Structure 1
Amino acid sequence: MVTITHAAKPSSWKYAFERCKTWLQAGITDFKKRPLVGLLSGIGFFSISYLTVAGLYLLDMSWMLVPVFSGVTLVAPLLAIGLYRAALQVKEGRSRPIASPGQLVVAGAVLLLLLITWVRAAAILYAVFFGLKPVPALGETLHILAQTPTGLILSLVGISVGGLFASFTLAVAAFSIPMLVDRKVDAFTAMGRSFSACAHNFKLATAWGVLTTGIMIAGLATGFIATIILFPLVGFATWHAYDDLFGASAN
C-alpha cells in the first residue's frame, strides 16, 4: 500500500513559487552530484528533438512541429526516468532497481496515446477552420496563425485545447512516473494519485507547471542547445517535488 503525504496547501502564490524554488535548488544540487547522468539525459533530449525536427522536414510535415513541441510536456516525464532514478540513489545513498518497470511501459503507452490524440486534434482544428486544404509549410502556417483573423481565432482555440491537454497530462504524469520508479504500484493508481496531489495543491502544481514550461520554452528558443542543461535540471527538480509531496519510499 502506498502512503501519500500531500503537501499542505499553500496560502499564497508567493508561497507556491518559493516552494518550487526550493525544488529547483535541490535539482541543481543533484545535477552537481550526478553530472554524467544529467548531461547524458540532456544530450538525449537534445538529440531526440533534433531528429524529430529533421524527420518532420524530410517527410514534408513541418507544420506538425507546432503541435508536437507544444505537446512536449506529454512525454517529457518518460525521458527523465534515468534522472528520477539517479535522484533516488542520491537520496538513499545506494542503487536499487526501478520498482515498477512494467507499469512504466503502461504509463508510457498512455502518455504517447495522449500525444497522438493532441496532434490529431490539432489537425482536426485546422480542418474545421480552413477546410480540407493541404496544410502549408511551417513558415506559412505561422504566418497564417499570427497574421490572419481566422488564424488568430484558431490560435486562441488551439492554445485553449492544448492547454487542457497539457494541464491534464501534467497532473497525471508529473508525479506518477517518479512514483513508478520509486514504488511498486500500478500505472493507473500512480496517475490517479498524481492527479489527486495536483488537485489538492492547485496553486503549487500550477506554479510548478508554469515554471517548468517556461524553462523548457527558453531551452527550445535556443535551438534546443540550452535543453542539454535545462532538461536534466527540471528532471532532478521534479523528483524533489514528488519526494516533497509523497515522501520517497524506504524500499
Structure 2
Amino acid sequence: MASDKQTPVARHSVATDLTTADLRAALAAGWNDFKAHPEFGLFFAGIYVFAGIALYYVLFVWSQLAWLSTLAAGFPLIAPFVAVGLYEVSRRRENGMPMHWGAILGALRGRGDEQILAVGVIVFVAFGFWVIVAHGVFAIFLSASSMGSESVEFLMTDTGIAMLVVGGAIGALMALAFYAITVISLPMLVDREIDFITAIITSLAVVRSNSKVMLGWACLIAIALFVAMLPLFLGLFIVLPVLGHATWHLYRRAVGEYQT
C-alpha cells in the first residue's frame, strides 16, 4: 500500500494520493480484523453502547430529552479513544504478535509516555467547551419560546428547528476540527514513540494533503455512527469496531517514515 507520492512532515512523510479505493481497502481490512478477534471489538463497543444508553436514561429521567441531540452531536468525539484498544489489536495482528488483554487495555498509555492521554485532555476540554456553547445556544433560542427545555415538542417548532440547525452547524465544525486532530494522531501514538504535537501535526497534514478523501472518510464515520445509534445504540457493536480497525489501516497507508 506504499506510495511514491509523499511529503515530509517532521520526521515522517504523509501520502498525498489517497483515493476512495484506499477507504474501501481500509474497511475490508477492518472487517477482517474484527472477524479475526471479535471479542475485543465487542468489548470496546460495549463500553460506548453502555455510555450512550446511560446518557439517554439520565436525560429521560431528568426530562431533558431536548439535550439529547446536542450531546449526541458531541458523543462521537469520544469514539476515537474507545478505538485506541482496537488500534492495538490491529497493530498486533499485523505484526503477528500475541493478543493479551493487559496490553490491549493498556493501549491508552501509548508507548508508556502518556502522550495519548495528553490528546485526551485536549478533547475532553473541547467537549466541555462544546457543552457550554450548546447551553448558550439553547438559552438564546429558549428565551424566544414559551416552552421549557424539557419539552420535546419545542424541537418541532420553528424556533426549535432553528436551534438544532445552528447548534448542529457549530457542533459539526468542532467535530471536524477534532477529527482532523485525532484521526491519524491516535493510531500513530499507539504505533510509534513520538510526542503528541508531532502526531497532531502529522494528522493535520494527512487531512490537508488529502482533503476530499479524508472529508469523505469523516462523513462516512459520522453517518455510520449516527445510523448505528438509532436502534438503541446496538448497531455500534458492529460499526464501531470495523471503523476503528479500518482507521488503523488508513493510518498505515497514509503515514511513512521520513529520512532527513
TM above 0.5, yes or no, is: yes
CA distance 1:135–1:85, change in 2 (3 Å): farther
Aligned mates of 2:112, 2:163 — CA distance in 1: 41
* 1:108 aligns to 2:111 (yes or no): no
Match of 1:9 among 17, 21, 25: 17
* One-letter amino acid of the structure 2 residue matched with residue 105 of structure 1: L
Secondary structure of 1:136's aligned partner: coil
How far the C-alpha of 1:180 sits from its partner, in A, is 1.2
Matched with 1:244 is 253
Match of 2:30 among 27, 30, 41: 27
Matched with 2:162 is 153
Match of 2:154 among 136, 140, 144: 144
Aligned mates of 1:104, 1:192 — CA distance in 2: 14
Residues paired across the two proteins, number: 240
How far the C-alpha of 1:246 sits from its partner, in A, is 0.9
Q: Decide whether the 8 Å contact of 1:101 with 1:180 is kept in 2.
A: no
* One-letter amino acid of the structure 2 residue matched with residue 5 of structure 1: S
- The 5-angstrom pairing of residues 212-223 of structure 1 reads 212-223=221-232
* One-letter amino acid of the structure 2 residue matched with residue 245 of structure 1: A
Matched with 1:13 is none
CA distance 1:64–1:248, change in 2 (3 Å): farther
Aligned mates of 2:177, 2:58 — CA distance in 1: 28
How far the C-alpha of 1:122 sits from its partner, in A, is 0.9
* One-letter amino acid of the structure 2 residue matched with residue 144 of structure 1: F
* One-letter amino acid of the structure 2 residue matched with residue 136 of structure 1: S
Matched with 2:131 is 119
Secondary structure of 1:164's aligned partner: helix
Aligned mates of 1:135, 1:19 — CA distance in 2: 48
Taking structure 1 as the reference length, the TM-score comes to 0.87
Matched with 1:231 is 240
Aligned mates of 2:113, 2:214 — CA distance in 1: 26
Q: Decide whether the 8 Å contact of 1:180 with 1:190 is kept in 2.
A: yes
Aligned mates of 1:248, 1:46 — CA distance in 2: 36
Matched with 2:68 is 65
Q: Decide whether the 8 Å contact of 1:63 with 1:135 is kept in 2.
A: no
How far the C-alpha of 1:148 sits from its partner, in A, is 2.2
How far the C-alpha of 1:2 sits from its partner, in A, is 6.3
CA distance 1:155–1:64, change in 2 (3 Å): closer
How far the C-alpha of 1:134 sits from its partner, in A, is 8.1
Match of 1:75 among 69, 74, 78: 78
Unaligned runs of 5+ in 2: 1-8
Aligned mates of 2:188, 2:38 — CA distance in 1: 23
Aligned mates of 1:248, 1:223 — CA distance in 2: 42
Q: Identity rate of aligned residues, in percent?
A: 26
* One-letter amino acid of the structure 1 residue matched with residue 21 of structure 2: E
Matched with 2:193 is 184
How far the C-alpha of 1:28 sits from its partner, in A, is 0.4
Aligned mates of 2:112, 2:177 — CA distance in 1: 23
Q: Let me know the Cα RMSD of the aligned residues.
A: 2.4
Q: Decide whether the 8 Å contact of 1:100 with 1:186 is kept in 2.
A: no
CA distance 1:177–1:106, change in 2 (3 Å): same
* 1:165 aligns to 2:168 (yes or no): no
Aligned mates of 1:43, 1:101 — CA distance in 2: 27
Unaligned runs of 5+ in 1: 11-15
